[in-house]
């Protein structure tokens, strides 16, 4: 997949683009992941739940492996600053989709999702799944995903609600 540039002049970021993940991106992606969970996650989860969830990026080797296991697309602003990322485990499970809090509701996640869906289609996926948080569930539903089930998952002693959604 090639890099794509979309004119989003109505956003705070002006234009932003997506590109493939590079191993050197891992620390910055962990920072975006933690900030998204700790800041935006507070709208739907307790501070303790957010801390437990965000901690999954603290093991740098495990985090790097998780990124390697995904096909990751990275969104960058005009200054090449990372403002979001998403990952899909082939043939069609979206494992990661996070934006920096300051990039929320600017079209960044939609652009990343578009890239991931395009990649999955190119790889022959007939169906795409994701396990969405309480906050991301409406986003995925807006993009045509349907709820299959909701369940509680335990992370570091904290119970978090997760929603399995499917498209296709």
Q: What is the pLDDT of residues 11-67, one digit of tens each?
A: 444 689 999 999 999 999 999 999 999 999 888 899 999 999 999 999 999 999 999
CATH of the domain at 86: 3.40.630.30
Q: Closest by alpha carbon to 167, among 132, 149, 140?
A: 140
* 152 inside domain: no
Cα gap 95→36, rounded to integer Å? 15
Per-residue pLDDT tens digits for 114-161: 999 999 999 999 999 999 999 999 999 999 999 999 998 877 778 888
Could you identify the residue written with the tokens 């539903």? Answer: 141
Q: DSSP state, 100?
A: -
Range of the domain at 91: 4-125
């Amino acid at each position: 997949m090639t890099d794509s540039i979309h004119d989003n002049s109505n956003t705070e970021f002006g234009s932003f683009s997506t590109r493939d993940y590079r191993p050197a991106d891992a620390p910055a992606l962990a920072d975006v992941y933690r900030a998204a969970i700790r800041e935006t996650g507070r709208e739907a989860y307790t501070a303790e739940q957010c801390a437990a969830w965000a901690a999954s990026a603290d093991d740098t080797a495990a985090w790097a492996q998780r990124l390697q296991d995904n096909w990751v697309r990275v969104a960058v602003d005009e200054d090449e600053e990372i403002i979001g990322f998403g990952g899909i485990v082939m043939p069609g499970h979206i494992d990661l989709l996070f934006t920096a809090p300051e990039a929320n509701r600017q079209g960044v996640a939609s652009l990343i999702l578009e890239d991931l869906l395009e990649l999955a289609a190119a790889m022959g996926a007939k169906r795409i799944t994701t396990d969405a948080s309480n906050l991301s569930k409406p986003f995925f539903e807006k993009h045509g995903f349907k709820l299959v089930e909701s369940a509680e998952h335990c992370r570091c002693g904290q119970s978090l609600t997760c929603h399995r959604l499917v498209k296709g």
